[in-house]
A and B are shown apart, each in its own frame.
Chain A
Amino acid sequence: MKQHPLCTDCENPITPLDLPIPPGLKREWAAVETRRRFLGRSGKVLGWAALAGLFSELGLRGLARGAEVDLPSTGAGNALGLPHFAPKAKRAIYLFMSGGPPQMDLFDFKPNLAAQFNKDMPDSVRGNQQLTGMTAGQAHFPVAPSHWPFGQHGQTGTWVSALLPYTARMIDDLTIIKTMNTDAINHEPAIMLMNTGNMNAGKPCLGAWLAYGLGSMNDNLPTFIVLQTKTNPKENNQPVSSRLWSSGFLSSEYAGVGLRSGADPVLYLADPAGVDRDVRREMLDTVEQINRQTLAEVGDPETNARIAQYEMAFRMQSSVPELTDLSTEPQSTWNLYGPDAKQPGTYAYNCLLARRMAERGVRFTQIYKRGWDVHGDVVGTLPTLCKETDQGTYALVTDLKRRGLLDDTLVIWAGEFGRTVYSQGGLSEENYGRDHHPRCFTTWMTGGGVRPGITYGETDDYSYNIVKDPVHVRDFNATILHCLGIDHSRFTFKFQGLDQKLTSPVPAHVVDGLLA
């Protein structure tokens, strides 16, 4: 309680409420009390009035919905009328290669570049593009062909770099997009655009939209889980922050729950000694009561989110140990995922967790792998990056496929942009660097809803510009939503006077050519 300045007894301030006066008078006093309190209260009253206005509108809208279709819930999103149509994929796993993998060293095979070694890229290719500060000052833009040989794989005969021997094995299952393009040339805006459809922070990411729209498929695990891969200090690790899995203007309940990449995926999961489940339950019930009081007093919807999160945390105390207990995995799992998978925090381990989450009804899992920002020493670091991820990715897709999960799971592999064909810094026979490149990059998807065994779009001879069938980030996201049964143009949330969408107000199109 705040100290009244005129009160001399600081220990026990006397208020009229302590005096032997009629209760009616006390109530009256409590109502007016001090000027400060009066002013404070009147501010709150205005807030309440505004809130009441909001709620009555919401209430009406609820009524309006009630009269439309009587539909059993499909999760939290039932009131939204989602999914709009029968989805091909119920869940998605997003393998995010943060930093920008070099497309021409992995998928976008340009055999004619070898002859161009160390020749300047023609100015006509670059046009009037503004480069990053890292290479804008370069006097020359020498073409750096890929250091690694490519081979044709699968029945489709798709060209894949020798760096990705595992990915090559499943190439017939992939839907490769060579003509992804983005608006941003630097990491933070580009990675925000990929994840939230907007370069500025504050918008919900794909996972949050899905959690909000489609809801959970199980009671015991979060709807949207983020797994970060332990960084390799030898790689150029760009930061990855939690705003990439934030819920933006949606309720915090829909934000991604990040698991730690250490031995303990969730800290302090076990109850401390002497506290059993009942005590914990009782404690949470009391906390909830207090929170409900706060909610009644302040009316902040975030309090609701907090209550829901306490409950989820309680259930995760039992569900997460079960999820991360890999002792029940058969030997065939370890053969498939490789020895890395036994170490928590590795990419392969995260892939294995992603499969286990898919089995347990997690709607959306996003795995972040940092380090793809190869400005220099491509020859030194790219093989490491590929080795760290190639087998895990292959194992995840193969595992999902053999267990019958790939039919209704969409797996996405993407970075935030591509890399330049010209070398950043010095180019030698042995080594080169590559700068950021937003005009084209390669991503792939597989699983529920997409057409396997195709390569979509074409880039020019320098893997610099798109020749045919561009796929903008917004189109990419629209297509992902389509696979999950959502019409991106109708999936909106009113905020700041705008019907906000994942695909932003700029028109976006589902890419039909990618769909099964």
Chain B
Amino acid sequence: MIAVDKLTVAIRNLRNRTLSAQWRFTLGLSALLLLLPFTFRLDGQSHADWLQFLGSFHPLLVHLPIGMLVLLPILEFAGANRLGLRESAAFVLYLTVATGVIALVFGILLAYGSGETGATVTRHMWGAIALLIELLVCINIRPSWISGGRQRTYPALLAVTLLTLTWTAHQGGSLVHGSDYLTRYMPSPLKQFFPSASVASDVAYVGSAYLGNIHPIFDAKCVACHGANKEKGRLRLDFYDLLMKGGKDGAVIAPRNPDQSLLLQRVTLSPNDRHFMPAEGRTPLTPDEIAALRAWILAGASPTATSIPGIRTPAVHADLPLQPVGDYSYLMNDIREMQTSEGAKLVAVSAKPSDGLILRTVDVASKFDDAQLARFERFAPFIVEAELGRTAVTDACFDTLSKFTNLRALHLEGTKVTGQALAKLSSLSQLSYLNLSGTKVTSDSLTSLKGMPNLRHIYLFDTPAEAASAVTNSTPTSTK
């Protein structure tokens, strides 16, 4: 507040002062501004209510100096022809500084009062201080620009000031609306220029109960205030290590001791308690979520354990991850062309490209022969399922198929294969499904498949092999 008084006095007297006195004032005020963050240290604790009350006017106040600062270059530019505008520009400049200082003070009150910490709020604060100092320097060098002295310095500094304003305002916007407020609803064509800074998670813990069950709770309910952008109570819950480090009151998780875990205490208080979390009327944790947290802490709060007694893991049925097939985007044009024309097609297993491709021949089965199959060789490593049932392929197809290194399922039902070259499939380590129904495959030729580790389903319905095995085996159609 003292600074404000000083400033008004200064503005009144500025014209009459000597240059050195102006500079002295500038340096003094700058020093004061620079001291502010150290006086009101952002320690993550909330302070007196009246500070927060006053602070809440910061968003209201801050837009006045912003508007005037944007107006300033317009006035200066238009003032080249109309001197009156240039005179008013000086006034606007002084007013900008005055209101800017007020807005800064209120901003610091807000941050200090409500206990905001984090990189963004710090950047926002320092940006504002830098902005005001730049404006103070502007005040000092403008007269020489007006009087025809140094012609470049003032416009250059004004430009720098505007850039600083943009950056600082962006930090402010991120504080209020979240760090992705600009890109969130951006049309996708633009988005590709802004690679999304997706929150890195604890990659090392993939597959753990922590990542599967616990982290999502924090992510949904807590990270808005205890994350990279806001760090209330100096506590962050977005990474395991930070969670275990705790906040200003020490550790929040006591492994094997849920009742001593501050985090669990705070989320289980009465919602009316002022320490209840999540604060500020955000969605409380559900009983299921609290139970999961409790079970996880009781089991030792391990980041790696894959199953926790008492947690209904949605991942119980999770399959072994499919072997990714690699990047085939360079072949996309050919794949797409195939889809629009008649003939065999390559279709994706799922929306995840690395799940691979299915070779589908059903519409052209009778015409699909070994030569046609050979044309798919360049897609070989990306094909995980080959639907060749009732096609015209023969034993020669195994030469091509042996190159389908990621093949998981192979349909050869109703084809002319005799099984002579089946041994060539033995290099396909991923193959788990082989359908030879309705072929002339004999049981002898199947022996070559014995050593294949993943081959769990072989179908031999209506084959000589089935007839042979029926004698010895009561379940002839599938060997599991």
Tell me the B401-441 residues at the A interface (CB within 8 Å).
409, 411, 413, 433, 435, 437
Chain B residues closer than 8 Å to A219, beta-carbon distance: 363
Q: Beyond A402-B477, A512-B314, is A72–B347 a contact (Cβ under 8 Å)? A: yes
Report the minimal beta-carbon distance from B150 to chain A, rounded to whole angstroms: 48
A361 to B357, CA, bound (A): 17
Chain A residues closer than 8 Å to B459, beta-carbon distance: 402-404
**Interface check A401, CB cutoff 8 A:** yes
Report the minimal beta-carbon distance from A69 to chain B, rounded to whole angstroms: 7
| Cβ-defined contact, A86 with B433, below 8 A | no
Choose among B312, B314, B357 the residue that contacts A72 (Cβ–Cβ < 8 A): B357
| Cβ-defined contact, B351 with A332, below 8 A | no
Chain B residues closer than 8 Å to A85, beta-carbon distance: 350-352, 355
| Cβ-defined contact, A407 with B477, below 8 A | no
Q: Beyond A72-B347, A86-B349, A401-B478, is A515–B317 a contact (Cβ under 8 Å)? A: yes
Q: Chain B 188-210 against A: per-residue CB contact (8 Å), 1 yes, 0 no?
A: 11011000000000000000000
Q: Closest residue to A219 on the B side, CB-wise?
A: B363
| Cβ-defined contact, A407 with B188, below 8 A | no
Chain A residues closer than 8 Å to B47, beta-carbon distance: none
Number of A positions contacting B (CB below 8 A): 41
| Cβ-defined contact, A401 with B477, below 8 A | yes
**Interface check B1, CB cutoff 8 A:** no
Q: Beyond A72-B347, A219-B363, A403-B459, is A63–B187 a contact (Cβ under 8 Å)? A: yes
Chain A residues closer than 8 Å to B267, beta-carbon distance: none
**Interface check A516, CB cutoff 8 A:** yes
**Interface check B19, CB cutoff 8 A:** no
A78 to B335, CA, bound (A): 13
| Cβ-defined contact, B189 with A64, below 8 A | yes
Q: Chain A 281-305 against B: per-residue CB contact (8 Å), 1 yes, 0 no?
A: 0000000000000000000000000
Choose among A68, A71, A332, A451 the residue that contacts B348 (Cβ–Cβ < 8 A): A71
Q: Beyond A63-B189, A65-B188, A67-B191, is A361–B351 a contact (Cβ under 8 Å)? A: no
Report the minimal beta-carbon distance from A357 to chain B, rounded to whole angstroms: 12
A82 to B339, CA, bound (A): 16
**Interface check A133, CB cutoff 8 A:** no
| Cβ-defined contact, A67 with B350, below 8 A | no
Q: Closest residue to A319 on the B side, CB-wise?
A: B363
A69 to B352, CA, bound (A): 9
Chain A residues closer than 8 Å to B312, beta-carbon distance: 512
Chain A residues closer than 8 Å to B353, beta-carbon distance: 69-71
Q: Closest residue to B457 on the A side, CB-wise?
A: A407
Q: Chain A 45-76 against B: per-residue CB contact (8 Å), 1 yes, 0 no?
A: 00000000000000010011111111111110
Report the minimal beta-carbon distance from B305 to chain A, rounded to whole angstroms: 19
Q: Closest residue to B336 on the A side, CB-wise?
A: A72
B312, B351, B389, B462: residue with the most chain A Cβ atoms closer than 10 Å: B351
Q: Closest residue to A315 on the B side, CB-wise?
A: B363
| Cβ-defined contact, B192 with A67, below 8 A | yes
A218 to B344, CA, bound (A): 10
| Cβ-defined contact, A220 with B316, below 8 A | no
| Cβ-defined contact, B347 with A75, below 8 A | yes
Q: Closest residue to B191 on the A side, CB-wise?
A: A67
A65 to B477, CA, bound (A): 45
| Cβ-defined contact, A74 with B350, below 8 A | yes
| Cβ-defined contact, A64 with B187, below 8 A | yes
Report the minimal beta-carbon distance from A218 to chain B, rounded to whole angstroms: 5
Choose among A72, A81, A83 the residue that contacts B346 (Cβ–Cβ < 8 A): A72
**Interface check B360, CB cutoff 8 A:** yes
| Cβ-defined contact, B477 with A72, below 8 A | no
| Cβ-defined contact, B350 with A485, below 8 A | yes
B interface, over-half SS: mixed
Q: Closest residue to A450 on the B side, CB-wise?
A: B317
| Cβ-defined contact, B317 with A86, below 8 A | no
A359 to B350, CA, bound (A): 21
Q: Beyond A69-B351, A69-B353, A70-B329, is A403–B317 a contact (Cβ under 8 Å)? A: no
| Cβ-defined contact, A407 with B433, below 8 A | yes
**Interface check A330, CB cutoff 8 A:** yes
Choose among B188, B348, B362 the residue that contacts A74 (Cβ–Cβ < 8 A): B348
Choose among B192, B317, B336, B346 the residue that contacts A516 (Cβ–Cβ < 8 A): B317
A401 to B457, CA, bound (A): 11
Report the minimal beta-carbon distance from A397 to chain B, rounded to whole angstroms: 13
A360 to B363, CA, bound (A): 9
| Cβ-defined contact, A217 with B189, below 8 A | no
| Cβ-defined contact, A403 with B351, below 8 A | no
**Interface check B332, CB cutoff 8 A:** yes
**Interface check A87, CB cutoff 8 A:** yes
Chain A residues closer than 8 Å to B352, beta-carbon distance: 85-86
Tell me the B449-480 residues at the A interface (CB within 8 Å).
457, 459, 461-462, 477-478
| Cβ-defined contact, A404 with B433, below 8 A | yes
**Interface check A84, CB cutoff 8 A:** yes
| Cβ-defined contact, B317 with A512, below 8 A | yes
Q: Beyond A361-B362, A402-B477, A403-B413, is A330–B191 a contact (Cβ under 8 Å)? A: no
A512 to B187, CA, bound (A): 37
Chain B residues closer than 8 Å to A402, beta-carbon distance: 437, 459, 461, 477-478
Chain A residues closer than 8 Å to B188, beta-carbon distance: 63-68
Tell me the A297-356 residues at the B interface (CB within 8 Å).
330, 332
Q: Chain B 350-371 against A: per-residue CB contact (8 Å), 1 yes, 0 no?
A: 1111010100101100000000
| Cβ-defined contact, A404 with B347, below 8 A | no
| Cβ-defined contact, B351 with A84, below 8 A | yes
A65 to B351, CA, bound (A): 12
**Interface check B322, CB cutoff 8 A:** yes
Report the minimal beta-carbon distance from B456 to chain A, rounded to whole angstroms: 10
A63 to B188, CA, bound (A): 7
Chain B residues closer than 8 Å to A404, beta-carbon distance: 411, 413, 433, 435, 437, 457, 459, 461, 478
Chain B residues closer than 8 Å to A66, beta-carbon distance: 188-189
Q: Beyond A64-B188, A401-B478, A402-B459, is A217–B360 a contact (Cβ under 8 Å)? A: yes
Chain A residues closer than 8 Å to B335, beta-carbon distance: 72
A63, A66, A72: residue with the most chain B Cβ atoms closer than 10 Å: A72
Report the minimal beta-carbon distance from A387 to chain B, rounded to whole angstroms: 26
| Cβ-defined contact, A87 with B362, below 8 A | no
Report 24 cross-chain contacts, Cβ distance below 8 Å, ordered by A residue: A63-B188, A66-B188, A67-B192, A68-B188, A69-B351, A71-B353, A72-B332, A72-B339, A72-B348, A73-B348, A74-B348, A75-B347, A78-B348, A83-B351, A86-B349, A87-B350, A361-B360, A402-B437, A402-B478, A403-B459, A404-B413, A404-B457, A407-B409, A512-B317
For the complex of A and B, list the 3 residue pairs with the smallest distance between their C-beta atoms, beginning with the closest: A404-B459, A64-B188, A67-B188
Further pairs besides A85-B350, A402-B477, A404-B433: 18, Cβ < 8 Å: A63-B187, A64-B188, A66-B188, A67-B188, A67-B189, A72-B347, A73-B348, A74-B348, A81-B351, A84-B351, A85-B355, A217-B360, A401-B477, A402-B437, A404-B435, A404-B437, A404-B478, A515-B317
